[in-house]
Amino acid sequence: MWTCPHCGRRFANKNQTHACGRYELESLFVRADESVRRLFDLFAEAVRENGEVTVLPEKTRVAFQVRMSFAALVPRRRWLDGHLVLAQTVDEPWVRKVEVISPHNQVHHFRLREPSDLTPALKARIRDAYAVGEQRHLSET
């Protein structure tokens, strides 16, 4: 693990590019409805069901990291835009778009508007993304 000497954030790779800075979680929710913060808390709870996680407020988003970042949420006024990093592409109703970063790191974008959007299927994929965050998927290749 490498730690940025400026902001103190830890990364799996040395000198990893990032938006260096120190940000507060609450500042990201200033313009959002209260329901958006509650939805964030539900998502964070679903992540924590998988184990220890570092929650990293950034300039425009909140990242979730184990060894590497595997999920992020961007608070909007009435919803959360988010993504999960998975080891392979999945075709599920909650997926809005997929970006292939590398063969084993595929970013699946989604939107949460209400608690019912956090379905059992999405929670299962959060578990898969958590494993990617631990980089377990690399030992399986």
Higher per-residue pLDDT: 136 or 117: 117
Phi, psi for 16 (deg, rounded to 5): -65, 135
How many domains, the chain? 1
Q: What is the pLDDT of residues 13-36, one digit of tens each?
A: 666 666 666 778 999 999 999 999
- Domain span holding position 43: 2-139
Asked if 109 contacts 44 with a C-beta cutoff of 8 angstroms, the reply is: no
- Determine the pLDDT at residue 16: 63
The alpha carbons of the chain give a radius of gyration, in whole angstroms, of 15
Q: Which residues lie closer than 8 Å to 91 by C-beta, 6 or more apart?
A: none
Q: Residues 65-79: pLDDT tens digits?
A: 998 899 999 999 999
Pairing of the two strands 62-65 and 10-11: unpaired
Backbone angles phi, psi at 112, to 5 degrees: -115, 120
Q: Please write the tens of the pLDDT for every residue from 46-105.
A: 999 999 999 999 889 999 999 889 999 999 999 999 999 999 999 999 999 999 999 889
